[in-house]
Amino acid sequence: MLALALCAVSSSQLRAANWFEKNFWLSGPRYDRTVPSCDYPPALDRIIANFRTKEFRFWNSELRIVGVENIQQTDFLPWAAQSIPRRFCSGVAVINDGGRTPIYYSIAEDTGMIGMDWGVNFCVVGLDRNWAYNPACRAARP
């Protein structure tokens, strides 16, 4: 009897969610629009640590960011009112090999670990080896 009931349920046609399913307890995201500033030390530390991990683990490289200079905000909330609040920033990354290269990053609300805190996405021009933000980190900017 149970097998017959499971077969009947699994063979029924898929339907879109009804009004009750779409509106009960699904109120949507509630953003506070509290995003750290571009020079927030924990955000920069996260960028430095993630860059080091990426270079060492995936590219077998000893390159590290040793500092970020000329930090400035390029935009804040550049899109529609209901989109995720983001602060777009730029600066100059000082690399341990003596090089200086532009860096673009964004700090966004609720995009960190399991959506509990802010998250950071970044791109270092010339060191975007997997071309995730190509060309020249254009996709990391607003």
Interval 55-83: pLDDT, tens: 999 999 999 999 999 999 999 887 777 78
Per-residue pLDDT tens listing for the chain (142 residues): 766 555 555 555 555 555 655 565 555 566 778 889 999 999 999 999 999 999 999 999 999 999 999 999 999 887 777 788 899 999 999 999 999 999 999 999 888 887 778 999 999 999 999 999 999 999 999 8
Instruction: Return the closest-CA partner of residue 31 out of 72, 87, 93.
Output: 87
Distances (CA, A) of 138 to 7, 26, 86, 124, 141: 51, 35, 16, 11, 6
Look at residue 28 in the predicted model and tell me its pLDDT.
59
The CA dihedral of 54, 60, 62, 64, to the nearest 10 degrees, is -10
Q: Which two tokens stand for residue 26?
A: 């699904």
